[in-house]
Amino acid sequence: MEEHRLLRRMETWPGRRPTQLAFEARGYSLHRAWQQRVIASCGEDQTDILNRYWDDVALETMQSLGRGDPDTRKFVVQPRYRSRLLDELFLKRVVEEPFRAPPLVPCLFERYKKIYFDAAFREGETAFFRSLREPERERLGIKPVTWSGKKRDFAPFADEFCRALGFTRRRNRWLKTVADSDDALTFEVGLDTGGNHFCIGPPVIFKIYCENDPKLAFEITNLETFDRLIPGVVEYKRTFDSDDLLLGAKAFIELFESLRDHYEIARRDNS
């Protein structure tokens, strides 16, 4: 059976580091601060393995359309790239209750456990990242606004963020394509309107699919999937007030655009 064209397109993604640099060039930094704190707690001698781990988790996540867990080595959609490093770390892993799918790098797992068990440490980390939000909002020009905090009222903000990047609106979806002689690759931003009427996180969802065959898609309805592509970006999901919702939504939308940009650049280079 011929491999689905979407899978072929995802295999051409250049990886975590170019996307992270493109995202940072847009003014975002919380994820970088998270990575630096992890490296500081693990030790500089762990920098190489951490970066290799993050790189390979990102590649496997992209090529499996987010349908799998690199830390458990289980995939619904098998990525063409299979990380030898993650296979080796998996064989050496130590599983402890209640952690059923811990990070495969031991020092990262130790940090994970410390956040889980040590309330003072957890609160200190929360306070640290909270202190970074206001300066970043100001740097990005996100001004405080008064609004209901309900999902149904978030559309104007999503519309503003998406239109600024050239997305076209269709009801409560915003689309942007990468044209191709074979099949256009569509990047779609949508709103999460289900469940709680109030936003407990940025109410945005994402989808990538080939225009002529949209049944198979890379759907990101859990924003933590982005954390496998760019570690630490989940900090943008955490919210303390309504302004954090705006920062988070804008960040994830612009990260999505950073992903799309790589395919657009590749198209232009090949035309």
Instruction: For residue range 161-218, list pLDDT tens digits in order.
Output: 999 999 999 988 999 999 876 789 999 999 999 999 999 999 999 999 998 888 899 9
Instruction: For residue range 94-113, list pLDDT tens digits in order.
Output: 888 899 889 999 999 999 99
At residue 271, the pLDDT reads 62
Instruction: For residue range 37-89, list pLDDT tens digits in order.
Output: 999 999 999 999 999 999 999 999 999 999 999 999 999 999 999 999 999 99
Higher per-residue confidence, 92 vs 240: 92
8 Å CB contact between 237 and 248: yes
- Tell whether omega for the bond before 202 is within 30 degrees of 0, i.e. cis: no
Whether residue 1 has pLDDT greater than 60: no
At residue 118, the pLDDT reads 98
At residue 231, the pLDDT reads 99
At residue 212, the pLDDT reads 85
Q: Count of H helices and E strands in the chain?
A: 10, 7
Least confident of 1-5, 52-56, 119-123, 246-250: 1-5
How far apart CA 78 and CA 73 sit, in angstroms, is: 10
At residue 2, the pLDDT reads 52
CA dihedral for 58, 60, 65, 70, sign (positive or negative): negative
What are the strands of the beta sheet with 204-210, ordered from one edge?
168-170, 173-178, 185-191, 204-210, 213-220
Instruction: For residue range 4-49, list pLDDT tens digits in order.
Output: 889 999 999 999 999 999 999 999 999 999 999 999 999 999 999 9
